[in-house]
């Protein structure tokens, strides 16, 4: 996939404006940085899991262990989704990151908070705020998705050359 993205970008490089080229370079650098973060987070997850196994502490009945491991898993998943969104930006050749993807990443972050939170020790106001945020993000996600569906239905099909060149 990455090779195809780079080939497509290079093939249409001379058709891109200065700012579109700037965006493509920034997106590429962000993708590389996020990839490094994903590798570091995955290393930490594997190291922690190995240590828990080695010391026979990986007990899913212990809430603190469960929260730590699944919190780390969610961090990796959120970073992967974010990187996918960034690289999708290059593949589609759009000039902005899609709002729907940002809202989805925010929903994943709130879900992670729900997974690692200690319900018994958490203030009810925080739980209410997280719940309201989840509902609000879900509503925004639905609204954006519906708007995108209606916009796709209203416009003619674009070729890959059109989307890369920004026409």
Model pTM score? 0.68
pLDDT tens-place string over residues 82-112 = 888 887 766 666 555 578 888 988 998 998 8
Instruction: For Cα atoms 7, 10, 14, give the angle at the middle one, nearest 5 degrees.
Output: 155
167 three-class SS: coil
Could you give the CA distance from residue 140 to residue 105 in angstroms, rounded to a whole number? 12
Is residue 21 within 8 A of residue 166, CB to CB? The reply is no
Instruction: Return the percent helix, strand and coil in the chain, to nearest 5.
Output: 85, 0, 15
134 has a pLDDT exceeding 90: yes
For 7-11, 67-71, 105-109, 156-160, which range has the lowest pLDDT when averaged over its residues? 156-160
Could you give the CA distance from residue 87 to residue 6 in angstroms, rounded to a whole number? 10
Is residue 30 within 8 A of residue 86, CB to CB? The reply is yes
Percent of the chain with pLDDT over 90: 31
Q: Which residues, 6 or more positions from 91, have their beta carbon under 8 angstroms from its beta carbon?
A: 1, 4, 5, 8
pLDDT tens-place string over residues 34-83 = 999 999 999 999 999 999 988 888 777 787 888 888 889 999 999 998 88
Structure tokens at 70: 């699944």
Could you give the CA distance from residue 22 to residue 19 in angstroms, rounded to a whole number? 5
Percent of the chain with pLDDT over 70: 84
């Amino acid at each position: 996939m990455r090779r195809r993205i780079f080939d497509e970008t290079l093939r249409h490089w001379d058709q891109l404006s200065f700012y579109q080229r700037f965006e493509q370079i920034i997106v590429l650098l962000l993708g590389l940085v996020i990839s490094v973060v994903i590798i570091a987070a995955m290393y930490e997850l594997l190291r922690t899991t190995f240590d828990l196994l080695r010391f026979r502490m990986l007990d899913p009945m212990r809430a603190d262990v469960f929260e730590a491991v699944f919190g780390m898993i969610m961090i990796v998943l959120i970073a992967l989704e974010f990187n996918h969104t960034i690289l999708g930006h290059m593949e589609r050749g759009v000039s902005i990151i899609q709002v729907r993807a940002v809202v989805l990443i925010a929903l994943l972050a709130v879900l992670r908070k729900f997974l690692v939170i200690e319900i018994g020790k958490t203030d009810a106001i925080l739980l209410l705020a997280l719940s309201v945020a989840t509902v609000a993000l879900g509503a925004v996600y639905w609204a954006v998705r519906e708007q995108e569906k209606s916009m796709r239905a209203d416009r003619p099909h674009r070729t890959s050359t059109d989307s890369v060149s920004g026409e």
